[in-house]
Structure 1
């Protein structure tokens, strides 16, 4: 049975900043969805952003004009009840700084012991208590800009996923990727040791995007990331890079020249992972550009790819829908973009495509895929109506079309019921709070 959940904005935030929820986003404010993660006990966490920015009001003290940018984390019980919401990535009104720094590419993961992990670029990792009460540890590294300004840090990973047996599958950033003067995601790495406030385990690099980053010095070596017994950095990392391994001909290799990794690598098993590799983007639009969801094993070997996608008709570049999600219990991979919902078996065979050109599945174009449970429950979020839709597929691809169609019909009914209960303003769901939500 599917389940629809509101993504709440605390009434404290609305009142504190005199936020006009009926105003269009083009007026200088917005709400964006970043990530979700499922805990072993069935709890769901959602990470999202509520912001306002007016250049002329940059230094204003008036609450209705102040700029702000809060990341919010909401924890839901297995039955969908919101249990807690915490704020981060901006100083509290009393000046208390947030222990979490806002960054691009922020994501979520839940460790086997239930600890919540927030990640971001470059290699910023924060461990948070399951009840969102406090930050337990932070492994961070500031942006390095300009490139000759060396800032020390204690980084870990830019993105983390947990394999079925509890290993950590990580994306790690490096300086000088494609000759850029900053840190960009570049390495796929694994660790067997636990990550905790008292232990930052060593990562073993298995693959790289750019095998020859430029401008690196000894400072850019990663002591906690090893390859063949030595720290990764300078000229030492897995080689050749993924574009060289994936390109089918010289023409395709050209378009992978400034390729980048997707949001995260996703585990299918403890030994097989899905790694999104995206060709260069263009300001004028990138639909039709090359991309591949590669199957990479624990030795860094490309064993295949998710087949059946057309660079133009199934392009993830439209709307930047780069994420995939896996259901390890059933050996399945899912992907959702503006053109359809796709499902593959572990050998890369496309088993289902629910195209948004078909009327029953047209609403899927308004959703983003955030996560998938190990047994195949999809977690989607509606980008405009700010509702989470959970679809239990139970690994049944033969009945996937019927399951999704039924869930979309149920979504309409549940949305109507939630509107009567919450009375949203322009699809913004305000949760009454008598005091400021907990500030991380």
Structure 2
């Protein structure tokens, strides 16, 4: 089913902060999309942010129509695409009440097996929300370097209902901060009452610098029945396994992407070499295939480091459909598809007129029914693209979805009008400040 859904801004938010929707983003405000997922129930959730930050406004400014602000928004849609409710979080709400949602970088969504919505962010911040976005059920937070009660920086669910997680460690890449470094599996239930322990299966940096005390251990992340930290983590690390192929310098300060579940015991783990200010196109990257014991069983083949580089536009997401054993990646060069053996099945080249519009979309997830969710980064619309069982027909399916997107966008402009610079303002929206 092809669907096109707007990322709405509640009218109360636009009015409260007197947002000028016609202003260029270069003036210090903007809307950014982060993630979109589909629940088994058929409900869809989209995560995005709106902010304003101008240098000529002091930190003490109290007038909301002038002051700087930053919110994360999560909107829930019915199966037929109607926005039902929007949660505003990560910034003080009415009466300056603090948000209950743990705010951090690289925030993502995951629908847990019981329908609870998990919102994760770096470093190891996880918030559990009621499926209808009415309440925060629990917050696993990390207010300091080694304090609090954290969980994971990202979470995915396997077909057997295990949780594929990424957690952080201090001193990765010789930075004096926490960075994503551990891939692990949790067999227990994550709920408001308790969190499961995570069994580490892979690490990126084998010896993070500056870990000198037991406080740097992660008690709930285990390797060989002991807490991960100091000298205890899976070896050889991903960077060690990749080093023989290229210059070791390239993998220093490399980064770990969000893993994708390709099968119940097979995961795609993206690893990217360091980025440079002057440009990183051509830098090494690997979409590694790991099993449930952390063994490197292969990789996703068929991408050229320069011609197919994800560093152009920093398009790093990989998603997967475990039901059919397919992995997907979209960057400025094309849409790529692999089978679970790592062989590339097809590429929809964005240099062609037909698929050039894909350069304006970001791939966020693959639904339980095997559809791709794409977000238009400038028009703030989510496109739901069906994937045919015969992957050779993918080009025709995507072409049809892009045509349907154009028609649906025109219809939405009439329905939601007036639409200013592709900003969709919802009147009378149900807004929950969490």
| Shorter-chain TM-score tier | over 0.9
Partner Cα separation in structure 2 for residue 33 and residue 426 of structure 1: 15
Counterpart-to-counterpart distance in 1, 2:272 and 2:428: 42
Partner of 1:341: 335
Normalised by the length of structure 2, the TM-score is: 0.97
Per-residue displacement from partner, 1:335-380 (whole Å, max 9, x unpaired)?
0011110100000011110011000000000000011013320000
Partner of 2:83: 82
State the match for 1:439 in structure 2: 433
Question: Does 1:201 pair with 2:189?
Answer: no
In terms of mean alpha carbon deviation, does 321-330 or 368-377 score higher? 368-377
User: Given the alignment of the two structures, is residue 108 of structure 1 paired with residue 109 of structure 2, yes or no?
Assistant: yes
Q: Which moved more, 1:213-222 or 1:60-69?
A: 60-69
Q: 1:335 to 1:250 in 2, by over 3 A?
A: closer
* 8 Å contact from structure 1 (residues 143, 183) kept in 2: no
Counterpart Cα distance in 1 of 2:279 and 2:389:
35
Tell whether 2:381 aligns with 1:387: yes
Q: Report the Cα distance in structure 2 between the residues aligned to 1:93 and 1:126, rounded to whole angstroms.
A: 20
Deviation at 1:277, TM superposition (A): 0.1
What does residue 180 of structure 1 align with? 175
Within-5 A mapping of 1:30-429: 30-58=30-58, 59-144=60-145, 151-216=146-211, 217-251=213-247, 253-262=248-257, 264-423=258-417, 424-429=419-424
Unaligned runs of 5+ in 1: 145-150
Q: Is the 8 A contact 2:35 2:48 kept in 1?
A: yes
1:434 Cα deviation after fit: 6.8
Larger CA deviation: 253-262 vs 413-422 = 253-262
| Range 370-379 or range 397-406, more displaced | 370-379
2:85–2:429: 8 Å Cα contact kept in structure 1?
no
Task: Quote how far apart the aligned CAs of 1:143 are.
Answer: 4.5
Rounded to whole Å, the distance in 1 between the matches of 2:132 and 2:233 is 38
Number of aligned residues: 431
Assess if the C-alpha contact under 8 Å between 2:37 and 2:109 holds in 1.
yes
Alpha-carbon deviation of 1:165? 1.2
Deviations 1:216-272 (A, max 9, x none): 120011110111111111110001110111234342x3211211101x111111110
Question: For each residue in 1:98-141, what CA deviation from the matched residue of structure 2 results, as whole angstroms up to 9, or x when unmatched?
Answer: 01132111111000100000001110011100000111011111
Contact 1:332 1:395 in 2 (8 A): no
The alignment yields a C-alpha RMSD, in angstroms, of 1.2
Distance in 2 between the 1:4 and 1:395 partners?
22
Measure, in 2, the Cα distance between the counterparts of 1:210 and 1:171. 13
Structure 1 residue 396: Cα displacement = 2.7
Deviation at 1:420, TM superposition (A): 0.5
Asked whether the equivalents of residues 389 and 411 of structure 1 are also in contact (C-alpha less than 8 Å), the reply is: yes
**TM-score normalized by the length of structure 1:** 0.96
SS in 2 for 1:133: coil
Once residues 184 and 408 of structure 1 are traced to their aligned partners in structure 2, the CA distance between those partners, rounded to angstroms, is 37
